[in-house]
Amino acid sequence: MSVYKIEPAEKLKAVRNILDRKESYRQAADRLGVALSSVQQWMSIYKSDGAEAFFQKKNKHYSKELKQKAVLDYLNGEGSQLYICQKYGIRSKSKLQNWIKKYNGYEELKSSRTGESIVMTKGRKTTFEERVEIVQYCIAHDRNYADAAAKYEVSYQQARNYTIKYESGGVNALHDRRGHSKPVDEMSELEKLRAENKILRAEKYRAEMEVSFLKKLDEIERGRN
């Protein structure tokens, strides 16, 4: 596989070579040292958005309606992931997989423009135990800070900050150091372990769900090819 980034011009050249029958998908992939699926994805991008799509720096936005149609088409057996991506002009299979994962997790699919899915809930003071619960929820639900904010009646920024603090400093970082809770050095080892285990269970659950989901998708793909 390629260890360097393929330039947009090279991607476009590969696509045009295939269209002109100068080389096959496999030959283009071998020449550039990339996976066959990558070349297939470039063709999908070209067919949906044209040559200029390879040179655009801005991310493409997708409406809620398009996401729902793409997911339902795939789940209803209307075609492979690659076919659905080509049909709806989706830039990568990983995006479609993520939408399917959210759909299967009963999460509402929302437009991908920045800020549209953020719940503007006013922040409030929280206890250490509440912060642990919020982080546990965020990790178990794929960092869905908006849902966590609504569920625990905190701000989106609080849910996000607590999760980031935990990931960088562990449960100790979730303590309020302004004197309103028990200092970190007074926590018993049992208290620390209980808090850590609660979040670790969420991490394990999320990892198991991810593996299970990808296995199911792979089985579906093999059945359609």
pLDDT in tens, 111-160: 554 444 444 456 788 888 888 889 888 888 778 887 888 888 888 778 88
Residue 36 domain-assigned? yes
The reply to whether 14 and 87 lie within a common domain is no
The reply to whether 160 and 201 lie within a common domain is yes
Residue 68 domain-assigned? yes
Report the greatest alpha carbon distance in the chain: 72
Angle between helices 93-104 and 81-88 (to 10 degrees): 100
**Distance between CA 161 and CA 167 in Å, rounded?**
10
Checking if the pLDDT of 4 tops 50, the result is yes
The reply to whether 50 and 76 lie within a common domain is no
The reply to whether 138 and 172 lie within a common domain is yes
The reply to whether 168 and 137 lie within a common domain is yes
Q: Which amino acid, residue 128?
A: F
Residue 221 domain-assigned? no
* Helices assigned H by DSSP within 6-144: 8-19, 25-32, 36-49, 64-75, 81-88, 93-104, 128-140
The reply to whether 144 and 103 lie within a common domain is no
Checking if the pLDDT of 22 tops 90, the result is yes
The reply to whether 90 and 168 lie within a common domain is no
Which residue segment(s) compose the domain that 105 sits in? 64-112
Q: Could you tell me which of 221, 210, 219 has the C-alpha nearest to residue 102?
A: 210
The reply to whether 84 and 150 lie within a common domain is no
Average of pLDDT values for 95-116? 62
Q: pTM above the 0.75 mark? A: no
| Band of pLDDT at residue 179, cut at 50, 70 and 90 | very low
The reply to whether 24 and 83 lie within a common domain is no
The reply to whether 135 and 192 lie within a common domain is yes
Checking if the pLDDT of 211 tops 80, the result is no
Residue 182 domain-assigned? yes
- Quote the number of domains for the chain: 3
Residue 120 domain-assigned? no
Residue 133 domain-assigned? yes
Helix (H) and strand (E) counts for the chain? 10, 0
